[in-house]
Amino acid sequence: QHVCLVTTIGKNQNTPYRVSPDENSARTPSLEELQRLLWTRAHPTGHVDEVWPNLYVGDLRMGISHVVNAAAGRFRIDTGPKFYKDLPVDYYGVEAEDNPNFDLSIYFYPVAQYIRAALNSPRGKVLVHCAMGISRSAALVLAFLMICEDMSLAEAIQTVRSHRGICPNSGFLKQLWELDLQKSEPSVIVSEQK
């Protein structure tokens, strides 16, 4: 059996959960285990942090080729397409509210596909940002890592938190957890018999 460690809050101990090596993917941790993982001490949160090769999470623009704004539209922070009009930047806006009741999951696959295409482009560097760079943008980057890099949610959280402090709100965390559960279910192939 493989053992994954989840650090608990306020203690210097680790809580192991066991994963059978026969399983195709690791067991999806509970929401409480994921929250403990997010609440453990992490690197300080800067304005912009590289959390995966050429993929940045933050609250400012920089010398990048593509931008995903997770605070676009009526929830914008004054960084819509006009903000970038004089820069050679490809823009993707997501009208997301940082509210646990907001369904961010409808953007998981489209944003993941956009980020993948951007990273595959020549000199592709992607900034995913929102107001603070810790909830909406972080949730979208976690979804990208799960969808395109085939990580579990726990692995994605650990990957991003090794570079940046993040804290998706409880609703976004639940939506990511549900994505993790969907991804860990065995696929069923149905064939038509003649």
For the annotated catalytic residues, the residue numbers are: 130
Could you give the 3-state DSSP secondary structure of residue 176? Answer: helix
Question: How far is residue 131 from each of residues 2, 29, 79, measured CA to CA in Å?
Answer: 38, 28, 10
Q: Residue 172, class by beta-carbon neighbours within 10 Å (0-12 exposed, 13-18 middle, 19+ buried)?
A: buried
| Helix/strand/coil percent split, the chain, to 5 | 35, 15, 45
E-assigned strand segments in the chain: 2-7, 14-19, 48-52, 55-58, 66-69, 90-93, 126-129
Distance CA 157, CA 165 (A): 10
